[in-house]
Amino acid sequence: MQSIDRITPDDLPAFARGCGVLGTGGGGSVDSGLLAAAHALAEYGDVPVVPLDRIAADGLVLPLSGIGAPTVSHEMPMSGEEPVLIAAEVERIFGRPVSAVMASEIGGSNGVGAVAWAARLGLPLVDADGMGRAFPEVQMVSQNVAGLPVNLIVLADVQGNLTTLRPVDGPWSEAIARAVTVACGGSALMADYVLTGAELRGAVVEGSVSSALRIGRTVAESGEPVKALVELLQATTLLTGKVVDVERRTGGGFVRGSLILDGTGADRGRMLRVEIQNENLVAFEDGRVRACVPDLITVVDVETADAVSTESLRYGQRVTVLSWPCDPLWRTPRGLEIAGPRAFGYDLDYTPVEHLR
């Protein structure tokens, strides 16, 4: 598979589409990230993309993501200076410069936003992320699956408040970072697992940036976008139909809810229910699980194959729900402990989507 060496303004629309597909409904709407990235590239120039093995063993990588309910961040843009505040704090703590930016989560706005943050800092973007998708909670990252300690979390908000956490473990990092985010108005930029190139090897999902761009280009260039997407991702089509019910509530720094689809065409007479915590978590049909976390579940427009994010779901949309396998690290016992169905309160065992019918 071909990888890329830089992101230019021309790449952004396809890259954003790919991030949307990998967002499983969450990670924030790609529109706000796309706008920020377009402005940043215009002002600061193209962003070089480098594979992790090109980062020096002791080079500091700054993984960044927005934190907060996407329904909030959608309404509350960043100032643009958050990455500068965070990088300055990290460089002060480590006593040396940051070498590169990485998306903590490639899915949704956080994937395309990483281009803006790297451009603002004048740093390359690592072709990797901490999820290979989007997840709602701070501790749900590959670095945690790999057993690395949450050494440091740095949060900056639009007002300029800077908060640095040294939590004792992953669940505490989530509890405290989420409380800070809510206190700051519901949305913040966050760095976590600030580690060196050597430490991150084997502990991240490599090739995510190239993968998102490839997905977006495939969709953009095909006359049958949904079909092309299914082939590229080796995805299972869970249902094609119409959105007949959307329930969402925002609180505690998350948006939670569910989505009900009524099948159309070949799927007439079938219904699918998708449950959501920022991201799409589990898809049920007649009480049976059709797909569940950590496998990816994305709702796409039936014509364009554009991902429909949690905050833009609405009654009457014609959509197809796709599911495909997550990165293998999430299927390990520790990966499932951190982001399997039980980590979200579901009393069910994980079954890979390709084994569910």
Q: Which amino acid is at 4?
A: I
Q: Work out which of 160, 202, 328, 352 binds its own copies, going by CB under 8 A.
A: 160
Span of 11-19, 72-80, 182-190, 218-226 interacting with its own copies by CB under 8 A: 182-190
96 near its own copies (CB under 8 A): no
159 near its own copies (CB under 8 A): yes
Give the torsion sign (CA, 64, 70, 74, 75).
Answer: negative
Ramachandran category for residue 265: left, alpha or beta (phi over 0 → left; psi -120 to 50 → alpha): left
Nearest to its own copies of 17, 178 (CB atom): 178
Q: Work out which of 182, 195, 229, 329 binds its own copies, going by CB under 8 A.
A: 182
Nearest to its own copies of 93, 148 (CB atom): 93
Q: How many CB atoms lie within 10 A of CB 263?
A: 17
Give the torsion sign (CA, 276, 278, 280, 281).
Answer: negative
Q: How many CB atoms lie within 10 A of CB 301?
A: 15
Span of 18-26, 160-168, 189-197, 306-314 interacting with its own copies by CB under 8 A: 160-168
56 near its own copies (CB under 8 A): no
165 near its own copies (CB under 8 A): yes
Q: By rule CB under 8 A, what string of x and - marks binding of each residue 76-95 to its own copies?
A: -------------x--xx--
Span of 115-123, 129-137, 157-165, 263-271 interacting with its own copies by CB under 8 A: 157-165
For residue 253, which of 159, 136, 93 has the smallest C-alpha distance? 136
For residue 60, which of 242, 215, 173, 194 has the smallest C-alpha distance? 194
Place of tokens 């639009």: 158
Chain positions contacting its own copies, by CB under 8 A: 89, 92-93, 159-168, 172, 175-176, 178-180, 182-184
